């Protein structure tokens, strides 16, 4: 007589299910604030990276079309492509001969969308290469700065002096520009921006090289002025710690080290090509 073993599948009790669900809710409650903080902290640099990509696309399309483009931000009572007043607007000059300085908005998919994340917005656009003198001048009374900006950009009367448009020429080049991105309330005065986190996206007009850096501290400006260094790092630097002389030298030497490391590889490849060419000639003889 054979005996059949029947195994009963053991299920979970109500107490076990309640304990597991309670542990999951507890872990979620503990991790959610930290995760939310990390996401919010990433919104500012993430917006800078997306704006940098958009500017690269504008330069590429200007060179491809052979026409002038410009990047600007909505003025008062004007909305962008997503119905807000924060996102950059890309415009193109259709006929510079018959209708010079008349630009129309580009509605292609690459030019519209949420470039700036969450509540990030552009508070200022500074045209021209950043210099120690200009950065120190920004620390003056805001009324004096606004007066100087109005004189400097008097040909752009339809735009506020704090955010003039950036023009991209048919060859893809533009002038230097600095986009100041922040998460400060929109109604805040410009002079109070220093109390809120912000980053500066700097565009080198000729080459299109772009990098993000936090605003310099006053002590850092003094160091740069004393050493005669330019007020640009040419690579991303968003750390809040104070820059020292060693840091600046390391930042300035990093691109040189990358160039130097690529030269031996280039020389080695050239040597291999010469050897291959010599062997081919020998075979031919």
pLDDT more than 70, % of the chain: 72
For 140-157, b where at least 16 C-beta lie within 10 A, e where not — what string? eeeeebeeebeeebeebe
Please count the structural domains in the chain. 1
Q: What is the pTM of this model?
A: 0.73
Q: Give a yes or no: residue 11 inside a domain.
A: no
Q: Is residue 272 part of a domain?
A: no
The two three-digit tokens of residue 62, written as one number: 């200007």
The DSSP letter of residue 237 is B
Range of the domain at 221: 40-262
199: in domain? yes
pLDDT computed for residue 24 by the predictor: 84
Query: Does some domain include residue 17?
Result: no
Q: Is 26 domain-assigned? A: no
Whether the per-residue pLDDT at 1 is higher than 50: the answer is: no
Structure-block tokens of residue 279? 């062997």
Whole-angstrom CA distances from 34 to 24, 27, 29 are 16, 11, 10
Section 99-112 average pLDDT: 93
pLDDT tens-place string over residues 186-220: 888 877 888 888 999 999 999 999 999 999 988 88
Residue 8 lies in a domain: no
DSSP readout, 50-107?
HHHHHHHHHHHHHHHHTS-EEEE---TT---TTSSSSS-EEEEES-TTTSTT-EEE--
Specify if 273 maps to a domain. no
- Mean pLDDT, to the nearest integer, of 226-236? 86
CATH code at 122? 3.55.40.10
pLDDT of residue 268: 58
Question: Average of pLDDT values for 133-162?
Answer: 61
In a domain, 27, yes or no: no
């Amino acid at each position: 007589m054979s005996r059949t073993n029947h195994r009963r599948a053991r299920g979970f009790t109500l107490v076990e299910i309640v304990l597991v669900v309670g542990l999951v809710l507890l872990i979620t409650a503990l991790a959610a604030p930290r995760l939310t903080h990390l996401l919010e902290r990433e919104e500012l640099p993430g917006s800078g990276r997306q704006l940098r990509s958009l500017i690269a696309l504008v330069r590429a399309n200007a060179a491809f079309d052979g026409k002038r483009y410009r990047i600007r931000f909505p003025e008062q009572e004007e909305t962008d492509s997503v119905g807000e007043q924060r996102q950059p607007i890309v415009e193109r000059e259709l006929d510079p001969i018959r209708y010079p300085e008349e630009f129309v908005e580009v509605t292609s998919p690459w030019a519209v969308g949420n470039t700036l994340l969450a509540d990030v917005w552009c508070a200022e656009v500074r045209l021209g290469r950043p210099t120690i003198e200009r950065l120190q001048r920004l620390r003056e009374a805001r009324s004096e700065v606004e007066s100087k900006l109005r004189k400097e950009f008097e040909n752009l009367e339809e735009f506020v002096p704090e955010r003039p448009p950036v023009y991209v020429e048919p060859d893809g080049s533009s002038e230097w520009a600095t986009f100041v991105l922040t998460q400060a309330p929109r109604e805040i005065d410009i002079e109070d921006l220093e109390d809120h986190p912000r980053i500066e996206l700097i565009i080198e007009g000729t080459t299109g090289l772009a990098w993000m850096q936090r605003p310099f501290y006053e002590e850092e400006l003094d160091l740069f002025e004393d050493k005669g260094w330019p007020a640009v790092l040419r690579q991303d630097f968003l750390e809040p710690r104070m820059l020292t002389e060693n840091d600046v030298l390391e930042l300035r030497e990093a691109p040189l080290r990358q160039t130097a490391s690529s030269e031996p590889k280039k020389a080695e490849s050239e040597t291999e090509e010469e050897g291959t060419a010599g062997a081919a000639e020998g075979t031919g003889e």
